[in-house]
Structure 1
């Protein structure tokens, strides 16, 4: 199964600060603050002639990230407006970059709205959501560049966009770094797994799921009919369980609710809350020749298959045949 680069495939581990440093409220010069960042020299350049605490520097960084994201989106727009002079592969790569740039602007805007209003450490679930979004911003930058390099290796489009992509990525990385230091809970790192259902926690090959008798009966029927599939783990520890709101079955033989994964995703509710639980899509054994794209409105989806080499999602789009790097993935979530 291939995955689109529009969501974070790479998570980051950040240098930690002492509790006193992390929550410092006294202004300090950039050289004092920047020594603990990933690129102290770059950090000092960004905050030249500034003086503040970690939250002040964070807000400055996010303002700059937002400003640069808007500029980059405008730059891509300007190229698309004159797209008649470009080949179709270049136009499609620019369209991917435009889509990804819009996502980045949304992620950064949402983050700034939150960090601009508080100096307090955020709740774990909220902080991890933001950290995931900011990691996605970096991945989207690289995805845009990869697409341009694949179809426009010698074009002025790639040459004109690669420098701002590189510079902006450094800035967005700094913003992510500061967010982790200023607003993430103490001792929290990017690779940790939350216990509140925000991330799924396999234990001994089993999922600790909590569901109604009706949902459990449907799941057990789908799994038991074939004699395999992921097992559930009954547990009395409420903090370890993941709530499942509802379930639908995808089966190519017509025995389930849907015969395609995309139809099942389309039927899922929009913009659900974490407290409601996950909408489970159980995909039975088979080879599904689909390009699955999960809209950002489809929150808290859980897709489970019958197992390795049993449930397979595949496709044959590639750059040689005219697709872009971004759209060649069989599975993606913006």
Structure 2
């Protein structure tokens, strides 16, 4: 499960945005030909094939493509499930690759539902942070497709599985790319359209190489005792911590494993009271750590490089997919590791 979530961190370095000179002086809500809309997408021919022949606009086109994307992602999930019904005749590697694809397909459905709710609610430019969130979801879908395909390509003993899924994976990725392009054109502030990534104002800010925290006197004492670091002088921009637990292998902390500490963290918090901090003291932790989606506003802090180490020994040679070999993974829900 850990590495299933880590793939979401590998957002495409350059998102398939487009900027169409032909639309520069045209209202995005004005009907134009599909050819004009698709000219500057990555695959204009494919783009035109999914749009209606009559004139349309960016907003309606984006909604149409996201709806089609949602339908295709559900069909792909059903196809994966059909292959998994024959798992008794498949290799362990092929079965695990299919399970990865099923997990990723479910994520894609969730991300598309969330994206459609946003675009269906307005035909106006979104605030920058909200636009960033949807772009992240739509680009993560493309990453998930590539991750699924990578896993299938490693299953040389299951040619029928690989060949049966590679075409829909490729076609769906084209559709997802068009959806992302139209979303970027219609809802993303103009000044951000050519920016691939930049730190958000809501992200955590370091001062003097350290992350400043705001916490209760009790948590303050716990933090300084385990970290042997003095907290920086409080400022309004400090990161609020609601509670803190410690992980120590010698049994003197709240937990001896990271996974047990994560399991004890509250579910579905809204962040209004700050982050739930897990402080992991120095040691080598042989664990596969997974931070599930319902563990929100969770912060993990270690003793530093080469001090707090998370390790494992899963490999492709032993039948594990690369996707499942990571020792630490987190979802897109706000959480942080320091």
Task: Please name the residue that 1:220 is paired with.
Answer: 224
Structure 2 residue corresponding to 1:268, chosen from 265, 268, 293: 265
Task: Please name the residue that 2:166 is paired with.
Answer: 162
Cα shift at 1:251: 1.5
Task: Please name the residue that 1:330 is paired with.
Answer: 327
Task: Please name the residue that 2:253 is paired with.
Answer: 256
- Per the alignment, do residues 205 and 178 of structure 1 end up closer, same or farther by CA in structure 2, a change over 3 Å counting? farther
Cα shift at 1:100: 1.2
Cα shift at 1:213: 3.3
Distance 1:28 1:235 in 2: 55
Distance 2:26 2:141 in 1: 24
Is 2:250–2:256's contact at 8 Å kept on the other side of the alignment?
A: yes
Per-residue deviation, residues 104-153 of structure 1 (Å, max 9, x unmatched) = 11111121122112113334443333222222212211111111111236
Cα shift at 1:310: 1.0
Distance 1:184 1:234 in 2: 37
Structure 1 range deviating more: 316-325 or 31-40: 31-40
Structure 1 residue corresponding to 2:84, chosen from 61, 80, 84: 80
Matched, 1:7 2:8: yes
Is 2:91–2:158's contact at 8 Å kept on the other side of the alignment?
A: no
The runs of 5 or more residues in structure 2 that have no matched partner are 332-338
Cα shift at 1:293: 1.1
Task: Please name the residue that 1:247 is paired with.
Answer: 244
Is 2:3–2:323's contact at 8 Å kept on the other side of the alignment?
A: no
Cα shift at 1:275: 3.0
Mapping of residues 164-313 of structure 1, within 5 Å: 164-188=168-192, 189-196=195-202, 199-224=203-228, 233-234=232-233, 236=235, 238=236, 240-313=237-310
Cα shift at 1:242: 3.1
Distance 1:256 1:277 in 2: 22
Structure 2 length-normalised TM: 0.86
Distance 2:26 2:256 in 1: 51
Cα shift at 1:20: 6.5
Cα shift at 1:315: 0.1
Distance 2:158 2:80 in 1: 17
Distance 2:171 2:238 in 1: 42
Distance 1:150 1:320 in 2: 11
- Per the alignment, do residues 132 and 313 of structure 1 end up closer, same or farther by CA in structure 2, a change over 3 Å counting? same
Cα shift at 1:3: 5.5
Is 1:292–1:331's contact at 8 Å kept on the other side of the alignment?
A: yes
Pairs aligned (count) = 324
Structure 1 length-normalised TM: 0.87
Matched, 1:130 2:134: yes
Matched, 1:148 2:152: yes
SS in 2 for 1:116: helix
Structure 1 range deviating more: 180-189 or 309-318: 180-189
Is 2:279–2:300's contact at 8 Å kept on the other side of the alignment?
A: yes
The runs of 5 or more residues in structure 1 that have no matched partner are none
Task: Please name the residue that 1:65 is paired with.
Answer: 69
Is 1:8–1:139's contact at 8 Å kept on the other side of the alignment?
A: no
Is 2:11–2:136's contact at 8 Å kept on the other side of the alignment?
A: no
Distance 1:179 1:234 in 2: 43
SS in 2 for 1:266: helix
- Per the alignment, do residues 16 and 205 of structure 1 end up closer, same or farther by CA in structure 2, a change over 3 Å counting? farther
